[in-house]
Structure 1
């Protein structure tokens, strides 16, 4: 496989026209590129930074698509599942072009193979920054007994709270860049994509978000409860409500990612009815790596 077998473009519409069928063929496994592309195409390709995103696709011998990637700086390159030969060709192509990378994310073996190829080609140090698991909802089970209170969809009056909690969430997961909290909250409020759990007196205590539906999939993210309010079942209750809403709306694939280093969240989501689909990983190159996009 040659490096120039990878077709590169900075145009998200061109990329979607070429790769959309491939991405939609496995919407759960391709949730990140589907969700990020939807955001870039609807809100502008410089949504995450002033740096121009880059997209790529690898065709197979039958002129189908074998794999794709997207890179929205400052986040890691995200690569769909691919064998070592393809990751080596991509690493060579990007390294020869002088394209800078802070890391790579993707299915566990694919991410590891690309990280090794990148280290060989550039001499950059690499490290495993995070192990993740992609879960899909199979049969919803609402936590019992539920905490006191109720869920409600967040609205414009909640904007200040949502922006504060989003900044706290980003600090907690080590995400120091990307879209600002204000634009993020505005976009989520506009499509009803944030739900709050509030106590009987109307005090919000936890939030869960959901991406807009695309290709029959929705990803639950983020889920956040302030540290001093944890341990009361609020996160489980609000996540279950967001999941129920998606199922009721007819969404075929309700998904979420977890950090495998956090046994509490992994256990919680399994009790709600989520089951593992695939293991993913984030590798950092050189300095600190910012996890996730979208």
Structure 2
């Protein structure tokens, strides 16, 4: 195999012309790049996008957020991780997200290249739906897709979810990771919402379920399972071939739930945060 060459652009359509087929070749593993690139395409916002060509074929890709300075990578070999670190040298990179082996290889390469300290901050497990298996018994109630008139309630529920997981909110709703998603409430027979599940728009036959949230005082009654089943069914009915979700691998309750519903773990992802040498020196 010949040495590869990285190419980059801020033109989403140019990137898709080169790397679109590659991203679509593994919708589950590439779910985050697929949805992120689609958001850039629809919004018209710029982003630094790159792809690796080896022996005339695209073998990998990355996204480098111009505002967040975070890098998202498709799976790479250690040599490829080193080459993309060389390619990104001189740019600000504050974090990387990828499957665990790729993220670790890039973090090590970035440390060697820049002297930055790397710290693993998040570990998440990727699941792909096999055969959807609703719980039995199924909680009483119904699923209801939220409408524009539910926006105030949606913002409140998403805010509670962020508080529960310790995630900082975006400056505005439009900039949040929720703005482009469809949400479904699971409601009790009297119409009271007791759980919520979101899903991304379908891209390359892939839908990601995110987030799933039930207030603490309502947990243990099957409501999260019901909400997850509702959005999973809707995705399948819409023609999705890959329905995926992420879970905290250290939460045995959610992992057991998703596996009972038919979700199969396929990979572990790690986020590394970087601290530049000059920042550490003045801390």
When normalised by structure 2's length, the TM-score is 0.90
Cα drift, residue 78 of structure 1 = 0.6
Contact 2:180–2:200 (8 Å) recurs in 1: no
Give the aligned partner of residue 196 of structure 2: 207
Which consecutive unaligned segments of at least 5 residues does structure 1 have? 46-51, 288-294
| Within-5 A mapping of 1:176-215 | 176=168, 178=170, 180-181=172-173, 187-188=180-181, 193-215=182-204
Structure 2: distance between partners of 1:182 and 1:78: 21
Deviations 1:118-171 (A, max 9, x none): 111112111111222111111111112122221111111211111112222233
Partners in 2 of 1:29 and 1:182 — Cα distance?
26
The CA distance in 2 between the partners of 1:4 and 1:174, in whole Å, is: 40
Q: How does 1:197-276 map to 2 (within 5 A)?
A: 197-276=186-265
What residue is the counterpart of 2:111 in the other structure? 119
Report the alpha carbon displacement of residue 263 of structure 1 after superposing the two structures with TM.
Answer: 1.3
Q: Following TM superposition, by how much is the alpha carbon of 1:76 offset from its aligned partner in structure 2, in angstroms?
A: 2.8
Cα RMSD (Å) of the superposition?
Answer: 2.2
Is 1:66 aligned to residue 66 of structure 2? no
Which deviates further from its counterpart, 124-133 or 179-188? 179-188
Q: Which residue of 2 aligns with 1:22?
A: 22
Rounded to whole Å, the distance in 1 between the matches of 2:122 and 2:27 is 23
TM-aligned CA deviation for residue 186 of structure 1: 5.6
Query: Which residue of structure 2 lines up, in the alignment, with residue 148 of structure 1?
Result: 140
Match of 2:41 in 1: 41
Secondary structure at 1:261's aligned position in 2?
coil
Instruction: Give ranges in structure 2 of 5+ residues lacking alignment.
Output: 277-283
Check if 1:81 corresponds to 2:75. yes
Note the C-alpha offset of 1:3: 10
Note the alpha carbon deviations across 1:27-70, whole angstroms, 9 max, x for none: 1111111111111111232xxxxxx521111110x210111000
Instruction: Tell whether the 8 Å contact from 1:216 to 1:252 is kept in structure 2 after alignment.
Output: yes
CA contact (8 A) 1:127 1:285 kept: yes
Secondary structure of 2:92's counterpart equals: coil
SS of the equivalent of 1:255 reads strand
Structure 1 range deviating more: 165-174 or 242-251: 165-174
Contact 1:166 1:181 in 2 (8 A): no
Aligned residues: 274
Question: Does the CA-based 8 Å contact 2:199-2:211 persist in structure 1?
Answer: yes
The 1-side partners of 2:95 and 2:189 are apart by 44
- Aligned partner of 1:163 in structure 2 is 155
Contact 1:3 1:90 in 2 (8 A): no
Determine helix, strand or coil for the equivalent of 1:142: coil
Query: Deviations 1:204-241 (Å, cap 9, x if unpaired)?
Result: 11111111111111111111122222222111110011
**What secondary structure does 2:203 align onto?**
coil
Q: Does 1:109 align with 2:101?
A: yes
